[in-house]
């Protein structure tokens, strides 16, 4: 990395614009002053101490603090130490000098510089009572190390009354190898008494040894310092004895580790260190402090990690020979050696049973037999077990002896695991005799506690001996005590059936690296697994027998219930699987996977199925837990198998599901569907995902109520993993099966959702399954688009449920949305929609088809929803489709609506007939689809493709609702009076068509017609042949017809509302405004003409709309926006129209105030006010009312509007217009007529009061 330039660093320090640059330069300075090649250049560049002091006077407080900290860290630097310390001292004196220009209270930060100065300055500060911070102390100890080292060496180990700790001096000696060596040499060579600090080993000695080992220092260095520490321990053993953890956990363990990892040339030296430390333990001044129990010795032996059993035996031998008070040679077979085994320093001390299991089995067996000779009564070891585990070694020696363990159980364990025991099995015959004796004692004992003890000890001895056949016989023999609740409680407790030994025995696989592996064969393993499985079944059967007993308590059988899972975990463990494979390899087997499948996995799953079947029998459910489930299921094995090939997994999955179906039944199979799906997914995510296809097909097609799991089986991830051919075959197979299921379902009688009998009629296939298949094919990449279309079309041909149809249609349309979709495929998709969807959308209910028999049987229920129609309508606006596709789909919508209208007409006729209603002679019902909203939606969303016939249909429906015929009115009133009809589907359907009076009639296309007329002209170019599509004239006629009906019915508010809707979207865009002007204004004018005609005609209606307010609605307010300014001609046209309206008011003979207020509200309430100033000027100039000596009413009205427009106007950007306003106001306030002039003065005052009219300089004009 390039060294920083001194001049650049100095420049960065001096600049004041960028704080970050200065901060970075401070860090660079602090680092550079430590180096030999950069100290002098940089110190000179910054101007030395004087320059730094001047810079610090300009620095921020933060920068001063950071700089002092960086400079203080240079205390430990070796390069140019004298020069740097002198410079730092000079800087400190300058900063603390009273003449320093910087008077800020920053001395608390300046003190960080002291450690980097000369020793004299440091001592001067200390003499004045300076208190160092932790940073400063650390810097001082590193910068002036010699001073601290001398002080430390002078007082370490000196005897005084105060107890001293080394932790306070950690900064002095940490990492200082030379000082460590001086300390060790001083204490070793010291004569007389010394005071060892309490943390000498924890803070000083052991951290050094660990650091040397971690850094892999030279062996000679490590050995030297270990020798130092051991020498100190030997010289001051009493001090070491007060801290036994140092011996057991730190120093001794360090020495043991060095000994076990040392090569031959160091091994004896390290062994000598271990011996010396063992001789020191236990140490102390009192007698009881010098007694070590066998438990302590065992702790020393077991503490080291990653130590072989043979090495632990060697350590145990050394410990028993050299630990204070022992002197025992455990390999001495002589009589004196045997006798010495009884002479322990602690009277009555017992050997921990773990001592025999922590060392190698051959030496353990030999030691155990020596101890058995020394203690003929067998009372030499405690009945303890592994920490955190349960063992048969916890078995007590006798019913009344809680202290000692069962010697026969431990001996059997050692014999079974040793080579000697494997070669000579006479010990096993002896064990069998002892088991029989214990059985006999159990049967002959009168006391329940004695029966329980002897039965339990017999069972544990069978386990310890590893004799499965003897254990199986004993399990059956033990059933005689089923009615003895106390014996049952002890016999089936956790310390019998949850021990590590019984689990390993029932696992059936010899433990890895044991003598049993050498003589094991695949045949012997198969035999052992079969016997073990039989024992599991026998135990479960015993539990089911006891369920009926009065004293049954499930909690007492938990160990038996948990045993199958423990055995399954043992067989699944990787070490045991590896052991099995090694045995198979030794036996010459070439297909290990096949062997382990047939010998281990299938029998294990079989026994778990058998156990589950027993527990779920009607008389055994009391053994189930609160969730009514077993502890382990057979699927657990399949989930736990590692490294199995996909073929093996598939085979096991098929085997398991077949056996589950046979042994447990469909109910239990469904209950475990989650686990089964997990199995199938394992196959699906393997190297051969195609193997999962048969399972997935069967699960989905025969899964019954388990459709919630299907989405996990068939998904994009799985299908993308399949080869192309496999994916295609699988999907076609699934589709064919689904189609067959749907065909079966369609042949059944229809059952309405929510019907009470629905639960009795299970569907042949779930709708969710069909939807899932369609969703998976939506825009997929795993099969070609033609195949997807074929599958979806085949499903659509049989689909009857509306949700399934919707999903399939969406997927089919997604195929067309792909740009690369060929025309032929598009045609096939549209043909399918025409063949299957159009008839469905034309039915009385999209949710279900009705047969002719159902039509003949009675009045059918009409559907309320039209989702299929809505999908088709939505596609007419789909920008991803071509114009040709959208046109074809629009044709499908038209066909569906016409078909629906025919169906609805049939229903209406049937409705009238069934209910005894009739229309007047010559009266007919208008044609309309089942759901009128669909027709309105077509008009709104698909106007370009809508034929005139459908608009006529919509118009007739609107007219009949605005002004129904007498017959329709009579039927409607009858329906409303009949409670059953009113609340039923038939009555609601009739009312939906013919009971939309007043404003409700507008929902039948009238509102849409008003909006259509305001659409840009380009949107109204019909896509149909000339004369067949909807045009502006047809829509205008629709609106005018409705308006005339409203006038005939004297519905003034409806006419006004219609006029407002005809003007509601005029300001959406310039194109909307033009369409409004061309299409809507003529319609409103026609309405006005109709009103005037009625008003002037004979027998005029008493209530007619206000033509003046209709004229206000069509005032041609020009369109303007930030992007589109109104033209001057449009503005003038608007002002002329506005003036004409006020002329009309002025000429009126009746009251005009309400209409004038309405006019002002309409004019001033527009969205934008940018043109108000121009409107005011043009309106004022148009008649120049200020020049008249006798102004008329219309002129007063105009000038009032002018004033209001100016008050509401936004400041115009045009200076010329501002001048026009100023000129007009001058003319107005100087009008000839007094009242006109007074009106001008009033508005002038109002404009002044606003105070923000910068474009009218009123004060300058007066």
Block residue for tokens 């017992």 = 350
Across-strand partners of 1141? Answer: none
Task: Kindly tell me if the per-residue pLDDT of 753 is higher than 70.
Answer: no
Angstrom distance (rounded) from CA 891 to CA 888: 5
Task: Give the model confidence (pLDDT) of 403-426 as tens digits.
Answer: 778 899 999 999 988 888 777 888
What's the CA gap between 457 and 397, in Å, rounded?
9
Task: Give the phi and the psi of residue 1072 in degrees, each rounded to 5.
Answer: -65, -40
Confidence of residue 1249 (pLDDT cuts 50, 70, 90): confident
Asked if 971 and 912 count as a contact pair (C-beta separation under 8 A), the reply is yes
Q: How far apart are CA 494 and CA 497, in angstroms?
A: 5
Handedness of CA 273, 274, 280, 283 (dihedral sign): positive
Question: Which is more confident, 199 or 363?
Answer: 363
* Mean pLDDT of the 286-306 span: 76
Q: Which tens digit of pLDDT belongs to each residue from 913-961? A: 999 999 998 889 999 999 999 999 999 999 999 999 999 999 999 999 9
The sign of the dihedral angle between the CA atoms of 1183, 1186, 1189, 1194 is positive
pLDDT of residue 168: 65
pLDDT of residue 1003: 82
pLDDT at position 1218 is 80
Q: What is the pLDDT of residue 574?
A: 92
Tens-digit pLDDT profile for residues 533-579: 999 999 999 999 998 888 888 889 999 999 999 999 999 999 999 99
The strands making up 401-405's β-sheet, listed across from edge to edge, are 351-352, 381-382, 401-405, 396-398
What confidence tens digit (pLDDT) does each residue in 251-264 have?
888 888 889 888 88
Torsion of CA 240, 243, 249, 250, to 10 degrees: -50
Per DSSP, helices labelled H in 622-723 are: 635-640, 646-663, 665-671, 673-684, 693-702, 710-713, 716-721
User: Tokens standing for 300?
Assistant: 């020393």
Token digits for 884? 């040709």
According to the model, what pLDDT value does residue 1252 have? 47
Give the model's pLDDT for residue 1085: 94
Per-residue pLDDT at 714: 72
Q: Which two three-digit tokens encode residue 135?
A: 């940073």
In the predicted structure, residue 762 carries a pLDDT above the cut 70: no
Tokens of 4: 């920083």
Domain ranges of the chain: 6-143, 726-748+770-841, 867-1113, 1128-1261
pLDDT of residue 897 exceeding 80: yes
The whole-angstrom separation of Cα 716 and Cα 1102 is 71
Do 1100 and 1093 contact (CB within 8 A), yes or no? no
Nearest to 1009 by CA among 957, 1110, 939, 938: 939
Which pLDDT score, from 0 to 100, does residue 1212 have?
Answer: 67
Higher pLDDT, 303 or 1029: 1029
What is the pLDDT, as a whole number, of residue 1071? Answer: 92
Residue 285 pLDDT more than 60?
A: no
Considering all CA atoms of the chain, what is the largest pairwise distance in Å, rounded to the nearest integer?
154
Mean of pLDDT values over 855-863: 89
pLDDT higher than 80, residue 1: no
The residue with tokens 């005809």 is 1062
pLDDT tens digit sequence for 649-672: 889 988 988 888 888 877 777 777
pLDDT of residue 1257: 46
Residue 710 has pLDDT above 70, yes or no: no
Contact of 466 with 416, CB cutoff 8 Å: yes
**1222-1243 tens-digit pLDDT:** 888 888 888 888 898 999 889 8
Hey, CA dihedral for 897, 898, 903, 905, is it positive or negative? positive
Q: What would the two tokens of residue 355 be?
A: 């001592």
Query: What pLDDT shows up at residue 543?
Result: 93
Helix, strand or coil, per DSSP, at residue 382: strand
With pLDDT > 70 as the criterion, what percentage of the chain qualifies? Answer: 93
In angstroms, rounded to a whole number, what is the distance separating the alpha carbons of residues 154 and 191?
A: 15
Average pLDDT, the chain: 86
Of 198-207, 878-887, 1068-1077, minimum mean pLDDT range:
198-207
Looking at residues 378-404, what average pLDDT do you find? 79
Task: Kindly tell me if the per-residue pLDDT of 1195 is higher than 70.
Answer: yes
- Given this model, what pLDDT does residue 164 score? 65
Residue 968 has pLDDT above 90, yes or no: yes
Q: What token pair was written down for 31?
A: 């680092």
- Provide the pLDDT for residue 303: 81
> Does the CA dihedral 280-283-287-292 come out positive or negative?
negative
Q: Is the peptide bond before 509 cis (omega within 30 degrees of 0)?
A: no
Contact 102, 56 (CB under 8 A): yes
**Per-residue confidence at 1258, pLDDT binned at 50, 70, 90?**
very low
Residue with tokens 């064969």: 521
- Residues 508 and 532: beta-carbon distance below 8 Å: yes
Give pLDDT tens digits for 23-75: 999 999 999 998 888 889 999 999 999 999 999 999 999 999 999 999 999 98
pLDDT digits (tens, 9 = 90+) for 1098-1110: 766 668 899 999 9
pLDDT category of residue 78 using cuts at 50, 70 and 90: confident
In percent, the amount of the chain with pLDDT more than 90 equals: 41
Q: What count of other Cβ atoms lies within 10 Å of the Cβ of residue 459?
A: 28
For residues 197-201, average pLDDT: 79
Cα(716)–Cα(718) distance, rounded to whole angstroms?
A: 6
CA dist 109 and 102 (Å) reads 13
Instruction: Give the position of tokens 């997914």.
Output: 681
In this structure, are residues 634 and 605 in contact, taking their beta carbons and an 8 Å threshold? yes
pLDDT one-digit tens code per residue, 424-463: 888 999 999 999 999 999 999 989 899 999 999 999 999 9
DSSP-derived pairing of the beta strands 351-352 and 381-382: parallel
- Is 638's pLDDT higher than 90? no
């Amino acid at each position: 990395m390039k060294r920083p330039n001194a001049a650049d660093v100095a420049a960065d320090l001096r600049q004041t614009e960028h704080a970050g640059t200065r901060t970075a330069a401070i860090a660079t300075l602090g680092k550079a002053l430590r180096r030999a090649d950069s100290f002098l250049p940089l110190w000179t560049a910054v101007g030395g101490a004087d320059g730094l002091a001047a810079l610090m006077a300009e620095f921020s407080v933060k920068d001063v603090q950071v700089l002092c900290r960086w400079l203080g860290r240079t205390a430990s630097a070796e390069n140019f130490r004298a020069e740097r310390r002198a410079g730092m001292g000079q800087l400190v004196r300058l900063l603390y000098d009273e003449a320093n220009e910087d008077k800020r209270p920053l001395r608390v930060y300046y003190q960080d510089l002291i450690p980097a100065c000369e020793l004299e300055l440091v001592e001067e500060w200390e003499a004045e009572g300076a208190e160092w911070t932790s940073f400063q102390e650390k810097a001082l100890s590193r910068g002036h190390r010699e001073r601290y080292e001398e002080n430390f060496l002078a007082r370490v180990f000196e005897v005084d009354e105060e107890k001293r700790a080394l932790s306070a001096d950690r900064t002095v000696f940490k990492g200082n190898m030379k000082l460590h060596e001086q300390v060790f040499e001083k204490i070793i060579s010291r004569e007389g008494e010394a005071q060892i600090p309490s943390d000498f080993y924890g803070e000083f000695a052991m951290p050094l040894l660990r650091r040397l080992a971690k850094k892999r220092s030279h062996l000679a260095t490590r050995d030297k310092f270990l020798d130092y520490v051991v020498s100190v321990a030997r010289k001051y053993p009493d001090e070491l004895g007060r801290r036994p953890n140092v011996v057991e956990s730190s120093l001794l363990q360090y020495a043991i580790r060095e000994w076990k990892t040392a090569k031959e040339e160091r091994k004896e030296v390290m062994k000598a260190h271990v011996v010396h430390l063992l001789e020191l333990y236990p140490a102390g001044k009192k007698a009881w402090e010098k007694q070590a129990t066998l438990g302590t010795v065992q702790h020393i032996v077991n503490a080291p990690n990653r130590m072989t059993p043979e090495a632990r035996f060697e350590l145990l031998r050394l410990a028993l020979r050299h630990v204070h008070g022992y002197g025992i040679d455990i390999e001495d077979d002589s009589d004196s050696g045997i006798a010495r085994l009884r002479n322990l320093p602690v009277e009555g001390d017992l050997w921990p049973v773990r001592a025999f299991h922590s060392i190698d089995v051959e030496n353990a067996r030999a030691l155990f037999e020596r101890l058995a000779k020394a203690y003929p009564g067998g009372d030499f070891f405690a009945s303890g077990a592994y920490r955190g585990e349960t063992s048969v070694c916890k078995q007590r020696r006798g019913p009344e002896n809680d202290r000692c363990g069962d010697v026969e159980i431990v001996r059997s364990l050692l014999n079974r695991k040793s080579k000697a025991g494997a070669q000579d099995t006479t010990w096993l015959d002896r064990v069998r005799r002892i088991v029989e004796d214990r059985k006999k004692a159990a049967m002959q004992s009168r006391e329940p506690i004695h029966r329980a003890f002897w039965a339990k000890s017999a069972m544990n001895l069978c386990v310890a001996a590893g004799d499965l056949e003897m254990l199986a016989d004993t399990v059956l023999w033990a059933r005689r005590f089923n009615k003895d609740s106390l014996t049952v409680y002890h016999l089936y407790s956790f310390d019998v059936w949850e021990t590590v030994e019984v689990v390993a025995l029932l696992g059936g696989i010899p433990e890895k690296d044991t003598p049993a592996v050498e003589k094991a064969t695949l045949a012997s393993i198969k035999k052992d697994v079969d016997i073990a499985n039989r024992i599991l079944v026998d135990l479960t059967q015993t539990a089911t027998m006891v369920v009926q007993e009065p004293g049954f308590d499930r909690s007492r059988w938990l160990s038996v219930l948990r045993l199958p899972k423990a055995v399954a975990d043992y067989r699944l463990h990787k070490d045991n699987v590896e052991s099995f494979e090694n045995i198979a390899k030794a036996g010459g087997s070439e297909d290990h996977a096949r062997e382990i499948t047939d010998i281990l996995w299938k029998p294990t799953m079989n026994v778990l199925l058998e156990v589950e079947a027993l527990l779920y029998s009607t008389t055994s459910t009391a053994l189930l837990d609160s969730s009514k489930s077993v502890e382990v299921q057979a699927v657990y094995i399949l989930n736990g198998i590692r490294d199995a090939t996909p073929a093996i997994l598939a085979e096991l999955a098929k085997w398991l599901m077949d056996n589950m179906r046979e042994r447990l039944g469909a109910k239990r199979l469904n209950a475990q569907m989650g686990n089964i799906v997990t199995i199938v997914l394992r196959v699906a995510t393997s190297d051969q995902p195609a193997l999962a296809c048969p399972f997935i097909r069967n699960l989905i097609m025969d899964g019954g109520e388990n459709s919630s799991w299907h989405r996990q089986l068939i998904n994009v991830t799985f299908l993308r993993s399949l080869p192309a051919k496999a994916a295609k075959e699988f999907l076609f197979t699934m589709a064919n099966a689904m189609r067959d299921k749907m065909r079966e379902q369609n042949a059944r009688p229809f059952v309405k959702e929510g019907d009470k009998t629905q639960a009795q009629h299970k569907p042949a296939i779930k709708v969710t399954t069909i939807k899932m298949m369609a969703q998976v094919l939506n825009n997929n990449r795993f099969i070609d688009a033609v195949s997807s279309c074929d599958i979806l079309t085949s499903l659509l041909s049989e689909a009857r449920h509306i949700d399934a149809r919707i999903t399939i249609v969406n997927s089919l349309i997604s195929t067309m949305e792909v740009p690369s979709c060929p025309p032929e495929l598009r045609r096939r998709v549209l043909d399918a929609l025409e063949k299957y969807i159009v008839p469905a959308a034309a039915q009385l209910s999209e949710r279900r088809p009705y047969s002719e028999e159902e039509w003949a049987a009675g009045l059918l229920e009409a559907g309320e929803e039209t989702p299929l129609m809505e999908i088709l309508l939505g596609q007419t606006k789909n920008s991803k489709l071509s114009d040709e596709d959208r046109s074809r789909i629009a044709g499908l919508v038209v066909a569906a609506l016409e078909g629906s209208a025919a169906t609805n007409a049939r229903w209406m006729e049937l409705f009238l007939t069934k209910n005894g209603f009739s229309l007047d002679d010559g009266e007919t019902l208008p044609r309309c689809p089942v759901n009128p909203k669909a027709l309105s939606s077509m008009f709104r969303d698909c106007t370009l493709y809508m034929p005139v016939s459908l608009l006529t249909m919509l118009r007739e429906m609107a007219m009949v609702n605005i002004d129904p015929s007498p017959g329709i009115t009579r039927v409607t009133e009858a329906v409303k009076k009949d409670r059953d009809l009113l609340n039923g589907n038939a009555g609601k359907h009739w009312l939906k068509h013919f009971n939309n009076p007043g404003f409700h009639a507008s929902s039948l296309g009238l509102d849409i017609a008003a909006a259509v007329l305001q659409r840009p002209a380009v949107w109204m170019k019909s896509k149909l042949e000339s004369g067949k599509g909807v045009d502006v004239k047809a829509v205008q006629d629709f609106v005018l017809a409705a308006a005339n009906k409203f006038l005939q019915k004297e519905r003034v508010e409806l006419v006004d509302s219609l006029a407002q809707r005809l003007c509601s979207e005029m300001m959406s865009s310039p194109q909307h405004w033009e369409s409004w002007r061309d299409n809507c204004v003529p319609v409103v004018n026609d309405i006005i003409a109709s009103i005037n005609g009625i008003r002037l005609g004979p027998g005029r209606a008493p209530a007619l709309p206000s033509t003046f307010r209709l004229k206000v609605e069509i005032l041609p307010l020009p369109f303007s926006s930030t992007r589109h300014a109104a033209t001057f001609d449009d503005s003038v046209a608007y002002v002329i129209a506005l003036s004409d309206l006020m002329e009309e008011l002025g000429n009126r003979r009746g009251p005009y105030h309400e209409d004038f207020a309405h006019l002002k509200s309409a004019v001033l309430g527009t969205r934008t006010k940018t043109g108000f100033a121009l409107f005011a000027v043009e309106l004022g100039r148009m008649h120049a009312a200020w020049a008249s000596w006798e102004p008329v009413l219309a002129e007063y009205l105009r000038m009032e509007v002018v004033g209001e427009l100016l008050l509401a106007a936004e400041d115009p950007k045009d200076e010329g217009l501002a001048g026009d306003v100023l000129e007009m106001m001058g003319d107005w306030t100087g009008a000839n007529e007094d009242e006109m002039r007074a009106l001008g003065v009033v508005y002038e005052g109002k404009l002044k009061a606003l105070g923000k009219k910068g474009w009218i300089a009123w004060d300058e004009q007066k």
